[in-house]
Amino acid sequence: MTTLKIGDKVPDFTALDQEGNTISLADYKGKRLVVFFYPKASTPGCTAEACNLRDNYQTFQTQGYEIIGVSADSAKRQLNFKNKNELPYSLLADEDKKVIEAFGVWGPKKFMGREYDGIHRTTFVIDEKGIIIEVIGKVKTKDHTAQIL
């Protein structure tokens, strides 16, 4: 599904976070970055994934990683999700799906026999130069940190 692969340069992006701050790829220049895309804030799988990353946030920090979560939820919904789960990283409210489409994670999905378009749960690990070093398409929500590190 994903069009980006290991070795690709990350598409430049700019979007608003849960508090209306402008976040762009340039803000993370020279840093390692984990960008995880999730279908919907406050749903069981997305909460498990976000909390697994939260619980291991210090480990990511000591290894030089920053984390950004992205979904098509509104800023208000992202803020509620962040506050309720005490997430220490930014969540992008990509309502116009510009970042989601730039990373190629929007497309047909199936759930209970029904087909629809949505966000494919995918994580990108990016090096200091903005190059993708890992793409995780089969995310284990409860043990996502182990997949990344």
Q: Which residues contact 53 (CB under 8 A, 6 or more apart)?
A: 34, 36, 60, 67, 69, 87, 89, 144, 145
Catalytic residue among 25, 33, 41, 46: 46
Distance CA 123, CA 71 (A): 12
Active-site annotation holds for 51:
no
Closest CA to 105 of 80, 70, 146, 61: 70
Active site residues: 46
